[in-house]
Structure 1
Amino acid sequence: MKQMIIASTSTIHGSGYLNYLLEELTFFFKDVDTILFIPYARPGGISHDAYTKKAQEAFSEIGKKVKGIHEFTNPKEALNTAQGIFVGGGNTFVLVNQLYKNNLISTLQEVIFKGTPYLGTSAGSNICGLTINTTNDMPIVYPPSFKTLALVPFNINPHYLDPDPSSKHMGETRETRIQEFHAFNSQPVVGLREGSWLKVNGENIVLKGELDARIFEYNKAPYEVETGTDLSGLK
């Protein structure tokens, strides 16, 4: 049975890395000693080692060890034997390209469906949807496919931002970009605001955190859902 936390971000304003989630993660990873970290998204081009160290420092606060998947000679075996998995944020295209390069997409799907606890933040959340076509990232590399894990029956837009009426920026809003996506695609999109996450237990999907989420469905007006809302029927 799937056990997942799909979070908009790893860091909220004024807080340390994963700090706002640590209480939740203490219970989520309660039966886990060592978490397998996938640092492929490399925010700002950071090295795999440096990114893993950042995750290690955060999880040490709740007594968990972290080991990077890049430290294993056989990444598939690392996934199959992992007690828990964390995929961090960064560039979604870089992350997906590396997952395909190492032939890990199907293995990652399999271990999550079997019940290995999975935490994703930002890019690590993007890959939980049907495709990564609603990411905010620049396509700096070209992965073999935009299809990813399909662990929830919709797409996700982490870091969702509402239009700022006082802004002088005349470019597209997130809502406009998602409307453009729906000109060519029909699956729903969940706009996750900073500090919000989806808690997945089996087929049950519930919005968590202090903020509402914005839902976009094909040929429908966007609408808000409150934290605590069950999104299992969103397809």
Structure 2
Amino acid sequence: MRALLLSASRAGDTPYLTHALPFIDALLKSNERELLFVPFAGVTISWDDYTAKVAEALAPLGISVTGIHQAADPVQAVKDAKAIAIGGGNTFRLLTELYGRELVAAIRDQVAEGMPYIGWSAGSNVAGKSIRTTNDMPIIYPPSFDAIQLVPFQLNPHFTDYVQPGHNGETRTERLTEFLTLNPQERVLCLPEGTALRRNGDKLTLLGGKVCYLMRFGETESIEAGSDLSHWL
């Protein structure tokens, strides 16, 4: 199983997916440069435009991109794909569309058989155990919150604990603590922008130049970039 789970499509003010190109290049073999893209998280952008945007960003790596929404049989398209990527947007919309096309199990099965998976933002969130630690509003109701489960824990992309001056809402840490209070058996990996999680078989590695955080009920652990997290599997 090979997967690259990116916190975000950008790091700071860098262009779209630019910071991720070295990670993606290292993940994909030379015969895996035909990418099936899943644009279903897009809400205010058309799926054609979203696919074209990703194709332009990945062109420097010699990767061709096809949108799964153009396939007559999406499940068969997943079975035939050499690699798959799921982009960011609204996680609830994304998971609803995946379930509606019977793609949750199809993607999980193909990745288990060796098809590489790339996700960012919502595309990373759905690779975790469930989408219950997404940052998104539930603008649509999927049949289940259970996700693709390429890793056996929760993910929180775009993690930040910044507090805007004068803002009195809860911090991200406080929101995740609420989740863990009601689900004390769970773990949440918090990925700041610019970081990523790479799975290669039974090996799990943290990428990027920032500290990430593993939250358990009553405990938060700081994790340095480059750390081997294989024991989490």
| TM bin (shorter chain) | over 0.9
- 1:82 and 1:175 mapped to 2: Cα distance? 38
Task: Tell me what 2:28 maps to.
Answer: 29
- Cα offset for 1:234? 2.9
Task: Tell me what 2:172 maps to.
Answer: 174
Which letter does structure 1 place at the counterpart of 2:38? Answer: I
- 1:205 and 1:170 mapped to 2: Cα distance? 37
> In the TM superposition, what whole-angstrom CA distance separates every residue of 1:16-63 from its partner, at most 9, and x where no partner exists?
111001122122123213100000000x52111010000110111111
> In the TM superposition, what whole-angstrom CA distance separates every residue of 1:63-100 from its partner, at most 9, and x where no partner exists?
11000001110000100010111100000000000000
Which letter does structure 2 place at the counterpart of 1:38? Answer: V
Matched residue SS, 1:61: helix
2:227 corresponds to 1:229? yes
* Higher alpha-carbon deviation: 66-75 or 183-192: 183-192
| Aligned ranges 1:1-235 → 2 under 5 Å | 2-31=1-30, 32-42=32-42, 44-164=43-163, 167-185=165-183, 186-218=185-217, 220-234=218-232
- 2:12 and 2:162 mapped to 1: Cα distance? 18
Matched residue SS, 1:143: coil
Which letter does structure 1 place at the counterpart of 2:74? Answer: P
Matched residue SS, 2:231: coil
- 2:211 and 2:14 mapped to 1: Cα distance? 20
**Count of equivalent residues:** 231
Runs of 4+ residues deviating >4 angstroms? none
Which letter does structure 1 place at the counterpart of 2:231? Answer: G
> In the TM superposition, what whole-angstrom CA distance separates every residue of 1:101-123 from its partner, at most 9, and x where no partner exists?
00111100000001101100000
- Cα offset for 1:167? 2.4
**RMSD between aligned alpha carbons?**
1.2
Matched residue SS, 1:233: helix
Which letter does structure 2 place at the counterpart of 1:36? Answer: L
TM (norm. structure 1) is 0.95
Which letter does structure 1 place at the counterpart of 2:178? Answer: E
| Gap runs ≥5 in structure 2 | none
